[in-house]
Structure 1
Amino acid sequence: MSKQVFTFFTALILTTGFVMGQEKEPTTPEATEFYEPVPPKVVPGKNGAPPSDAIVLFDGSDFDEWISSEDSTAVKWHLNKDGSMTVKDKTGNIQTKRNFGSFQLHLEWKSPAEIQREGQNRANSGVFIQQRYEVQILDNNDNPTYVNGQVGSVYKQGVPLAMASVPTGEWNSYDIIFHAPKFSKGGNIKKPATVTVIHNGVLVQDHFIIEGTIKYIGWPKYEAHGKAPLMLQDHRDNSRVSYRNIWLRELK
């Protein structure tokens, strides 16, 4: 076979394969419509109430969903008459009794109206996802600090896109969408975790790729794990941060 003939047949085979590999262009609107799977129905909450499929973690009535992170005993934080709870200094972090993977989380928090201390010691707390990945809580109003440790940051990793806090002493909201990391059978990271954070309606973390477990000193790195509790921090500096209206929707 001559070189010219061989080239011609090669080009014909490649061209034919390309055409046959393409999907046929739809000629009716019905061809691009599908009816399964049908999404589950979720009834939105009204006036700040959680949606119908949410797990209510705290509604102000009790600590039934929580335990002390220190020793798995009863929570020692303050349960307030206004339906909130407040960090009780030096009693330790608290965590959920349940373990979670990926989720949508809503919670509200506020710093005390009376300003005490400065920098990282002013109303410092944090939302620890799977006990490892922290979304920072801090009173940054007229209180600058390192930007990867300010309010709305993924602590020591992700600088927030904006500082969206309300005035000191008023209630803030966090809406957090977290996708858990995936590991190989050997314990290596296959897909890192991501987090999106909306602070008082303002996007401050946009599908941020988490680099590993939060570290105060040193670089973050991943360690294989499964589902784990949600944890709220007692920073042990008389932070007096309060929380209310905490609910979570599990995601696949």
Structure 2
Amino acid sequence: MQKANQLLIALAFISAGNLAYAQEQQSKKTPESTEIWEPQPRVITPAEKVGDAPSDATVLFDGKSFDNWVTIDGTAPKWTLKDGAMTVAAGAKDIKTKKEFGDFQLHVEWRSPAEVDPKQTGQGRGNSGIFLQERYEVQVLDNYNNKTYANGQASSIYKQHIPLINACRKPGEWQVYEIFFTAPRFNSEGRVISPAYVTVTHNGILSLNHVAVWGPTEYIGLPVYKAYEKGPIRLQDHGNAVSFRNIWIREL
């Protein structure tokens, strides 16, 4: 066990970029032998209010305009913009960011409609989705006292990973996703050598814990990876008047 720990420490120094320094420090066996001073983590300024964008984030939606978004057909978004939120307009189609992203931390606040039609149950209530790199859907759904298939409920990777919890608030109340995404890696032949990984917190509670995504989201059938580089964030028009606000992203 001791040799294993020494190896891990040595590897940490090697990853910091100096094998000779690591060997020298290990031979000294002093408190300083396990201190790594460079490189230092970069300094950012956190937001004053929890949930707001830190200094190194890109604000994708500030509640005032669709400047960073287009409809999936490339036209200007036709969603409703009111009171600092954008709301799905049925038939207006999905929208996506103009910019594409690789690895990232994504903050999204969303709200299902306050008025619930008693005839709407399961996937028919407050349905939308957040597509990471336009491929992997983190489900948005009103699951407050509303049962559906487990791998299709709020904060699931749709049709793939079941959330650890159901943390849904009541319809009409704002909810928060923090999404941490590591993009898949492909070799020169286009074969996946490392899958995408996703971690999600729903209203501050861990919902998905670094799960490996099997491939792009499919409604029918099994997912299959195909090589690509980056992709946009896409929000789904599923026919329900779901609202979004305070969307920001940190590229990692």
TM tier relative to shorter chain:
0.7 to 0.9
**Mapped partners of 1:24, 1:111: distance in 2:** 57
Q: 1:123 maps to what in 2?
A: 126
Q: 2:48 maps to what in 1?
A: 46
SS at match of 1:120: helix
- Equivalent residues of 1:57, 1:65 under 8 A apart: yes
Alpha-carbon RMSD: 1.3
Matches within 5 A, 1:34-113: 34-47=36-49, 48-69=51-72, 71-80=73-82, 82-113=83-114
Q: 1:170 maps to what in 2?
A: 173
Q: Does 1:180 align with 2:183?
A: yes
Residue 148 (structure 1) aligned to one of 148, 151, 161: 151
Structure 2 residue identity aligned to 1:219: L
**Mapped partners of 2:155, 2:37: distance in 1:** 39
**Mapped partners of 1:30, 1:146: distance in 2:** 54
Structure 1 residue identity aligned to 2:132: I
Q: CA deviation at 1:167?
A: 1.3
**Mapped partners of 2:43, 2:245: distance in 1:** 26
5+ long unaligned stretches in structure 1: 1-20
Q: Does 1:199 align with 2:186?
A: no
Could you state the TM-score of these two structures normalised by the residue count of structure 2? Answer: 0.87
Q: CA deviation at 1:222?
A: 0.6
Q: 1:10 maps to what in 2?
A: none
Q: CA deviation at 1:30?
A: 1.1
**Mapped partners of 2:122, 2:190: distance in 1:** 37
Q: CA deviation at 1:198?
A: 0.3
Q: 1:3 maps to what in 2?
A: none
- Equivalent residues of 1:93, 1:233 under 8 A apart: yes
Q: 1:138 maps to what in 2?
A: 141
- Residue deviations 1:172-216 (CA, integer Å, cap 9, x gap): 000000000000111100100000000000000000100001111
Q: CA deviation at 1:49?
A: 2.2
**Mapped partners of 1:160, 1:49: distance in 2:** 25
**Mapped partners of 2:202, 2:146: distance in 1:** 18
SS at match of 1:190: strand
Q: CA deviation at 1:25?
A: 5.6
**Mapped partners of 1:150, 1:26: distance in 2:** 55
- Equivalent residues of 2:26, 2:33 under 8 A apart: no
Runs of at least 4 residues off by over 3 Å:
23-26
Q: CA deviation at 1:27?
A: 2.0
> Once the two structures are aligned, what percentage of the paired residues are identical?
53
Structure 2 residue identity aligned to 1:97: K
Q: CA deviation at 1:24?
A: 4.6
**Mapped partners of 1:26, 1:89: distance in 2:** 68
Q: 1:223 maps to what in 2?
A: 226
Q: CA deviation at 1:234?
A: 0.3
Q: 1:189 maps to what in 2?
A: 192
Q: Over alpha carbons, which structure has the higher Rg?
A: 1
**Mapped partners of 1:129, 1:63: distance in 2:** 19
Q: 2:32 maps to what in 1?
A: 30
Structure 2 residue identity aligned to 1:153: S
- Equivalent residues of 1:26, 1:32 under 8 A apart: no
Q: CA deviation at 1:32?
A: 1.1
